[in-house]
Amino acid sequence: MAITVNLDVMMARRKVGVGELAAQIGITPANLSILKNGRAKAVRFTTLDALCRVLDCQPGDILVREPGGS
């Protein structure tokens, strides 16, 4: 399964930086960076919900399943 993380796109659209967003959702900038760069192995629903609330978006705006994944 190939999941693409478009968090950086949503952050750019909302003009919010890693430090600011991390503070608003209650995680460390390092952990947000791991998620933003697609290196995370999992994401908690509470974190996803907080991201969507702060960025005013839907989960599908952040996470996209790419065809052809294993």
**Would you state the pLDDT for residue 67?**
86
**Would you state the pLDDT for residue 57?**
97
Name the residue ranges covered by the structural domains of the chain. Answer: 2-66
pTM, two decimals, is 0.89
Predicted confidence (pLDDT) per residue in 4-46, tens digit: 999 999 999 999 999 999 999 999 999 999 999 999 999 999 9
Distance separating the N- and C-terminal Cα atoms of the chain = 5
**Would you state the pLDDT for residue 66?**
87
30-35-40 Cα angle (round to 5): 105
Of 21, 26, 30, residue with least CA distance to 56: 21
The domain 2-66 is classified under which CATH number: 3.40.50.11740, 2.160.10.10, 1.10.260.40, 2.40.10.120? 1.10.260.40
Contact predicate 32/21, CB 8 Å? yes
**Would you state the pLDDT for residue 70?**
57
pLDDT at 69 exceeding the cut of 60: no
